Structure 1
Amino acid sequence: MPELKSNVAPLDPVWQRIRSEALDVVRDEPLMGGVMHNNLLHHSTMECALAFRFALKLKSPEISEQILREIADEAYANNAWLGQAARADMLAVYDRDPACHRYLQPLMYFKGYQAVQAYRIGHWLWNSGRVDMASFVQMRISEMFGVDIHPAARIGKGIMIDHAHSIVIGETAVVGDDVSMLHSVTLGGTGKEDGDRHPKIGNGVLIGAGAKVLGNIKVGCCSRIAAGSVVLADVPPSATVAGVPARIIGEAGCPQPSISMNHQFDDQSPL
């Protein structure tokens, strides 16, 4: 007897929770009913909702919402990792941002999360050889969210960018998994040199607001960069650096700085 095929979507706890939260919004704030249905409840999967949001936010008189939706749908259909990363990023924001109380908030309201998901589609385009479309997506992300991530940059999953004003991540930058950064962070170069010229950020790093990490340098796993620092040299793993130019002031203070989100120095710090 042939196996019967089911039309029921695979169990997706993250997406089911988002839909449940959206129904709560409709109940508690009926004026948001249309917004919740259009953006969330109308869609069968989280990938469909992400594609809809991507197209809605980045559409312009130059490229229509329909074209952008087709691009996003193609990206999610051809690269399952994009959806996996989107879920990991959402959980990262929920776990690390005390202002996030529901799963739907990053997808609907937090521009850092939305900018990273849009960048991921631009990165997929870049890797597919569609350089001009990827560059267009980069431009629209910058215009809409104030976040400028080159589509060639490589960024892992479990990323949290809080507030996300004036984020700059250069072409040859690499960001590992489970990294947290605040607003006005730059991962940039140091001049007009070509080639591999941007920072390599290890897993679990916490980068404070306004920090500038410049040049082809390595920031070791589970380290901390204090707010306002200018980092011009390699940072060892599990260290804290601060200052202009930044120098090592001690250990990271905990096994996973990006998750604890602790920006304070202990009493032994020379600063």
Structure 2
Amino acid sequence: MFTSTFLLTLAGLSALTEASPLQARGGGKRGLAFPKQNHGVAGSQYTHHFSGSSKITWMYDWEAVIDGSPINLEYVPLLHSNQQWCTEGWFNNVANAQKQYKVSHVLSFNEPDQVGGGGSNMPVADAVAAHRQYIQPLAAQGLRIGSPSVTNADTAGKGIDYLQQFMNACSDCQIDFVVAHYYAWDRAEDFKAYLRKFHATFNKPVWVTEFGVTEGNADTFLKQVLPWMDAQGWIERYAYHMAAPTTDVKYLITPDGRGLSSTGQIYASV
């Protein structure tokens, strides 16, 4: 099943190459985070399970290239780190994405405050230098620029403290919104309190590009926090982690990859 789907999605992508950029749905906040590749198949195929949801308006895949054909959403390119595999071809990849999708925002580095777990592990000075070189020039195109995303670790050199150091060192950079990640138990009030603190610290619009439940009931958690995030004017966008299959019911896709988990159904509808 996955092999045939992968070939079909690649065919769909080639058909779009010369087409006008896809136009995103309305101005909602809710997005999809999906892997570029998942065990040899295009992770974009999992977005199709959300095609009937008017709640979903944007997407990203931790890169600036999509394998396969996702649903018609606004796409947000991300530069994962300053490593060559990320920076080589970055500007061309963004330009190609702009030909295929609506692109109005760009995300900077993924968790430079963390080693492992998808973190890019970048000293603040290196992150600032790379941001100036690869992200800041895109502001001249009229794109809105996001800060690096940081974990919710509450120790020196991590989380909010890391991003404060970055923002101070890059004070002349165009940073239109700050980006938070959050993983913890299913206590909605703790989540809300953290995001309020994040916003108060930087006094800029907030994107929550990864959040998830590590212990407890993800479904109940989402029913509590999704309406709250939608109601906060200072939270611009958010994406639950993530649109992919897993044996863990906290993800949005069923383990066989064929549909939405109960968590995904809530994410698509509440």
Above 0.5 in TM-score?
no
* Higher share of residues assigned strand: 2
TM-score (norm 1): 0.33
User: Which fold has the larger relative contact order, with Cα–Cα distance below 8 Å and residues 6 or more apart in sequence?
Assistant: 2
